[in-house]
Amino acid sequence: MDNDKKNTPSAKTDSLEQDIWHDPALHQALTQIRDAQAPRQHKRMAFWYTGMAACLLLAVVLFNKTPSTSELTVAKAKVEPLYYSTASAEQRAFELSDGSSIRLNASTKITVALSDTQRLVSFDEGEAYFDVQHKPETPFQIRSFYGEIHVVGTEFNVEQSKQGLRVSVYEGVVEVINRHGELIVLTQGQRVSLDTLGQFEEKTRFDEAAPVDWQHGLLNAQSIPLQLVVERLNRYSHKPLYLAPELNTKKVTGSFMLRDVPASVRLISELYNLKINENKDNIYLSAL
């Protein structure tokens, strides 16, 4: 037990502080300050040494007490993080050591770190479906650029795009916390989105009994921006798909095939009177 205490971050920081305060230069400076009879010039020099040493001490303490987010994640989990990703047009499923499972949509990257006290996921980009094992004593947290998701045991879908974050709950209860500390609780059949500023959009309902569209090779759009449709299709496209800026916010509704992007692009162009310009490098959609 004593050895464990000696190896804790707090013990290491305390030891480092002790070493700095016993530094000969600092000790001499403090002695000069305490000497009331010292000449004024020496007192100024002592003050300079003391200030420099204090700054050094503060920098070291802050450095040791303020690790990066990744270091915090690894330190809390006490294990090496696991990295999972998918390439364009690829889907993969993973089983975690706690019994949970994750299915990744195409062009997705996440990092997972598990311990006996907590389960942490860093959501970098893309889309994933989580089936979390029920363990009340071990919280399951997902951290993204737009906010955090807290669960105990449930099934839900997470999508992070350039337009924000969307969470859809298929079973159980999920807490979503935005960057401003505001919290929304989602139950089965509810979803919420966070915009690019981390603000909540209105909570909505969906048919949780329906299959998850992307797991069946489909993109089911219900009045969503065309920019988001294009971003989803790009996860499966062999050529980058671009959109004229004036079409970004155009709302689209329909069911499109993910594994046949050219056919989906043609359907979108027919439904919304758009022009397709395609060359060997990319596909560009614009208004007629």
Task: Give tens-digit pLDDT for 211-237.
Answer: 999 999 999 999 999 999 999 999 999
Half-sphere exposure of 224 toward its Cβ, with a 13 Å CA cutoff? 17
**Range with lowest mean pLDDT among 45-49, 103-107, 153-157:** 45-49
Distance CA 44, CA 39 (A): 9
Q: Report the share of the chain in percent with pLDDT over 70.
A: 73
Q: Quick one: average pLDDT of 252-272?
A: 96
pLDDT of residue 207: 94
Q: Where are the beta strands (DSSP E) in 116-265?
A: 119-131, 140-143, 147-151, 155-161, 164-171, 173-178, 183-187, 190-194, 204-205, 218-225, 241-243, 251-257
- What is the structure's pLDDT at 80? 80
Q: Beta strands 140-143 and 190-194: pairing type?
A: unpaired
| pLDDT, greater one: 11 or 197 | 197
pLDDT band of residue 245 (cuts 50, 70, 90) is: very high
Q: Token digits for 254?
A: 């329909």
CB 104 within 8 A of CB 125: no
CA–chain centroid gap for 282, Å, is 29
User: Does residue 26 carry a pLDDT above 50?
Assistant: no
CA 58 to the chain's CA centroid: 30
Which has the minimum average pLDDT: 71-80, 90-99, 108-117, 195-204? 71-80
The answer to whether residue 18 scores a pLDDT higher than 90 is: no
Judge whether residue 28 has pLDDT over 60. no
Is the predicted pLDDT of residue 165 greater than 90, yes or no? yes
Place of tokens 């009331």: 36
Residue 169: Cβ within 10 Å count: 24
**Of the listed ranges 30-34, 173-177, 251-255, the one predicted with least confidence:** 30-34
Strand 190-194 versus strand 204-205 pairing type: antiparallel
What pLDDT is recorded for position 43?
Answer: 43
- Whether 12 shows a pLDDT value over 60: the answer reads no
Query: Do residues 75 and 65 lie in contact, with contact meaning Cβ atoms separated by under 8 Å?
Result: no
Residue 1 to residue 121: CA distance in whole angstroms: 30
Pick the closest to residue 169 from 185, 182, 180 (CA basis): 185
Share of the chain above pLDDT 90, in %: 68
pLDDT for position 72: 40
Location of structure tokens 């230069």: 25
Instruction: Name 247's Cβ contacts closer than 8 Å, sequence gap at least 6.
Output: 226, 227, 274, 285, 286, 287
From the list 132, 88, 125, the residue with the least C-alpha distance to 108 is: 125
- What are 257's strand-pairing partners? 218
- Residue with the bigger pLDDT between 20 and 159: it is 159
Q: How many CB atoms lie within 10 A of CB 224?
A: 18
H-type alpha helices, 174-213: none
CB atoms within 10 A of CB 130: 23
Q: Phi and psi dihedrals of 243, rounded to 5?
A: -130, 140
Burial of 90 (0-12, 13-18, 19+ CB in 10 A): middle
**Res 15 pLDDT > 90:** no
Tell me what the mean pLDDT of segment 58-84 comes to: 52
Q: What is the pLDDT of residues 100-115, one digit of tens each?
A: 999 999 999 999 999 9
How many whole angstroms separate alpha carbon 40 and alpha carbon 112? 60
Query: Are the CB atoms for 205 and 190 separated by under 8 Å?
Result: yes
Burial class of residue 5 (count of CB atoms within 10 Å of its CB; 0-12, 13-18, 19+): exposed
